[in-house]
Amino acid sequence: MDLLAQLLTTLVGFFLLVVVLGKLFWRPVLRILDQRRTQIEDDLRRAAQTKQEVTQLQEAHSQKLAKIHEEARVKIQEAILEGKRISLEIQEQARAQGRTIIAKSKETIELELAKAKVTLRDQVAGMTLEAVERILHQKLDPTADRQIVDAVLDELEQQ
């Protein structure tokens, strides 16, 4: 019995130890573990929420970036169209100036041609008068008249 009493005493001691440890240590340890579990769950929830916020921010950033790219593309297209319009205006102005210059040049040429005709007519008239004057001063015969006109024309050609 001695062994039984010893076993019984050991069991009662172990049971008391478990009860005392349960009240003194297990509950605080379990409370600490519960608090730790709760804190980890909260941290995981916050991490998930932060991850979701980061994803939303990335999507918003991507949308803004796409919008900026689209606006830039539109502005580039507008600038190209404006450049083409200005180029066409400059070309049209150059053509108009060219037509004006050509018209003025034609007018100048026509004026110079008219002046040359008047000068030529005056010279021919002068030569004719000079030839007639010589013919009248010498009043010879038709052959002599012809020789005088030819001589006057030869003189004028040499000048």
**pLDDT band for position 135 (cuts 50, 70, 90):** low
- Tell me the pTM: 0.44
For residue 140, pLDDT over 60 is answered with no
| Ranges 36-40, 87-91, 121-125: which has the least confidence | 121-125
> What is the rounded CA–CA span in Å between residue 6 and residue 12?
10
Are 148 and 135 spatial neighbours (Cβ–Cβ below 8 Å)? yes
DSSP 102-121: HHHHHHHHHHHHHHHHHHHH
Q: What pLDDT is stored for residue 27 in this prediction?
A: 79
Q: Using an 8 Å Cβ cutoff, are 134 and 150 in contact?
A: no
Which amino acid is present at 135? I
**Helical residues (DSSP H) of 22-141, grouped into ranges:** 27-138
Confidence of residue 71 (pLDDT cuts 50, 70, 90): very high
Element (H, E) at 16: helix 2-21
Question: Percent of the chain beyond pLDDT 70?
Answer: 86
Q: What is the model's pLDDT at position 62?
A: 94
| Model pLDDT, residue 54 | 95
Q: 123 or 125: whose pLDDT is higher?
A: 123
What are the tens digits of pLDDT across the range 25-61?
A: 877 888 889 999 999 999 999 999 999 999 999 999 9
